[in-house]
């Protein structure tokens, strides 16, 4: 698939997954609430922030031959497994150099991820925890921490 088509497919998938969660009232409320700082201490001023909502990086379709994140991008990416998986966070407003301190995610679970009937398999729970932690690292901008070091050190 050409790069432009791949980008369009990812953009469409992102829009579908966000719409999926916006249609669920409590999810829509949480996504809307993210427009203010999520967990700033009471002593810090509350400033308006922009909410970033996107498909998780590991769900994005990749070019043929790229085998990165196949478990999340292909194996579990269908209606009976994990039909929708997004992440969201409040973009730091005051200082562009400030790092994202909290990333949240929603995952919809289908029947093919059951262990017992109606109960998500523990291995899937741990996989989602691993994915969420990975997204946190990505969005926390490890590359910023590495910018003062030589490229071999990161």
Range(s) of the domain holding residue 114: 3-153
Backbone conformation region of residue 84, classed left if phi is above 0, alpha if psi is from -120 to 50, else beta: beta
Task: Give this prediction's pTM.
Answer: 0.77
Contact between 109 and 117 (Cβ < 8 Å):
no
User: What's the number of domains the chain is made of?
Assistant: 1
Span 96-132, pLDDT tens digits: 667 777 888 999 999 999 999 999 999 999 999 999 8
């Amino acid at each position: 698939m050409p790069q432009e088509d791949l980008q369009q497919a990812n953009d469409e998938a992102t829009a579908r997954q966000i719409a999926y969660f916006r249609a669920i009232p409590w999810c829509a409320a949480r996504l809307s609430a993210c427009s203010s700082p999520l967990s700033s201490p009471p002593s810090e001023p509350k400033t308006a922030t922009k909410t970033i909502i996107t498909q998780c990086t590991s769900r994005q379709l990749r070019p043929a031959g790229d085998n990165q994140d196949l478990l999340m991008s292909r194996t579990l990416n269908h209606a009976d497994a994990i039909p929708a998986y997004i992440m969201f966070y409040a973009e730091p407003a005051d200082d562009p150099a400030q790092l994202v301190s909290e990333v949240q995610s929603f995952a919809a679970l289908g029947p093919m991820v059951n262990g017992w009937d109606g109960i998500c398999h523990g291995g899937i729970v741990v996989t989602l925890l691993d994915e969420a932690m990975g997204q946190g690292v990505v969005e926390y901008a490890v590359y910023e921490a590495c910018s003062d070091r030589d490229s071999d050190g990161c």
